[in-house]
Amino acid sequence: MREVNLAGLDLNLLPALEALLRRRNVTRAAEDVGLSQPAMSRALARLRACLNDPLLVRVPGGLAPTPRALALAPRLAVALDGLGGVFREPSFVPALMRRTFRLAATDAQSILLAPPLLRRVRALAPDVDLRFENFSDDLRARMDAGSLDFAFAIVSTPLPPGAVSEPIASDSLALVMRRGHPAAARRWTMADYADVDHVTVTIRGDDESEIDARLAKAGVTRRMVLRTPHFLAALACVGATDGVTTLSAALARRFADTLGLCLAQPPFEDVSLDMTLVGAAPRANDPGLVWLRARIREAAAEAYGG
């Protein structure tokens, strides 16, 4: 049996062959695939040479397929369908998806976003699991490798090369302390930050925050009596002491009654704390990730009141 050189095969001949075997008429086959009659005749000649078979022979009343053509017809239909599948956008049905999505998040984002997100995912894709994971120094490598799908960040966070982000929620900074705190009724200035003990959240163990940079420009230094990687721990501590913290207003409002907290406006010109969702650019069009991004936006609108 003579092997066909696929590298030298013109795939445009396959639809012509299918139409010829189905129609058994050059003119009608040409109409089906949008060719002229002479062009279809040339295509038939090339197919005959390629397959070393007449394929269609003239008989009284028209053209008749050869045994080789009859054997080719059902296999050709399958091959064309499979070839079309290479270029066809695969159907995406969330309810049939079996997958685990991984998101790097702080405890604040887990507390605010995980409940409404999980509720939506369970309702629409019951075989999908979520994993909220800690931030780490190899965040970019994890995204590139596909072992991490998304990370939450704020708008001012610098993005690594190859990362894309989109805004998902609007939040703001709040100065948080216990109800009845001696400075609760005060209208705070930058200088007031030097007069109280502070509890701060350090996600990666770095000592200086953006707030410290703002205070430094005003010549103010604050005393950190507690650094913790957990936002809820910071709120619990200021609820039980005379310490104060400056963090997400949405999170502080969620626990204000439970922990006996009051919120005040920080003495900064810009107190916005808008959140973004960060992912790897090469995977941005993954249907599952596109679907999850939409669910995260919905969950964020509910959690942050957007």
Same domain, 133 and 200: no
Residue 220 lies in a domain: yes
Same domain, 149 and 287: yes
Determine the average pLDDT of the residues in 265-281. 91
**Domains of the chain: total:** 3
Amino acid at 200: T
**Which of 55, 87, 119 is at the close of a domain?**
87
- Regarding pTM above 0.75, the answer is no
Same domain, 121 and 139: yes
- Res 198 pLDDT > 50: yes
Residue 78 lies in a domain: yes
Residue 47 — very low, low, confident or very high, per pLDDT cuts 50/70/90? confident
Residue 1 lies in a domain: no
User: 80-114 pLDDT, tens per residue?
Assistant: 776 665 555 667 899 999 999 999 999 999 999 99
User: How far apart, in Å, are the Cα atoms of 232 and each of 100, 202, 249?
Assistant: 26, 12, 12
- Res 203 pLDDT > 70: yes
Residue 57 lies in a domain: yes
Q: Quick one: pLDDT at residue 1?
A: 43
Q: CB-side exposure of 244: number of CA atoms within 13 Å?
A: 26
**Long-range contacts of the stretch 217-221 (C-beta < 8 A, 24+):** 218/190, 218/191, 220/190, 220/191, 220/193, 220/194, 221/194
CA dist 94 and 123 (Å) reads 10
Same domain, 225 and 296: no
Same domain, 51 and 112: no
Quote the percentage of the chain above a pLDDT of 90: 51
Range of the domain at 119: 94-167+274-304
Residue 237 lies in a domain: yes
Residue 170 — very low, low, confident or very high, per pLDDT cuts 50/70/90? very high
Same domain, 216 and 150: no
Same domain, 50 and 198: no
**Which of 87, 107, 127 is at the close of a domain?**
87
For 116-149, the DSSP string reads HHHHHHHHH-TTEEEEEE---TTHHHHHHHTS--
Determine the average pLDDT of the residues in 65-80. 81
Same domain, 179 and 138: no
Same domain, 290 and 260: no
Residue 128 lies in a domain: yes
Same domain, 113 and 63: no
Same domain, 278 and 260: no
Pick the most confident of 57-66, 171-180, 202-211, 297-306. 171-180
Same domain, 159 and 126: yes
Q: Quick one: pLDDT at residue 86?
A: 54
- Give the three-class secondary structure for 89: coil
What's the mean per-residue pLDDT of the chain?
88
Cβ contacts of residue 162 below 8 Å, gap of 6+?
140, 144, 280, 281, 282
CATH of the domain at 259: 3.40.190.10
CATH of the domain at 34: 1.10.10.10
- Res 197 pLDDT > 60: yes
Residue 18 lies in a domain: yes
Q: Quick one: pLDDT at residue 107?
A: 94
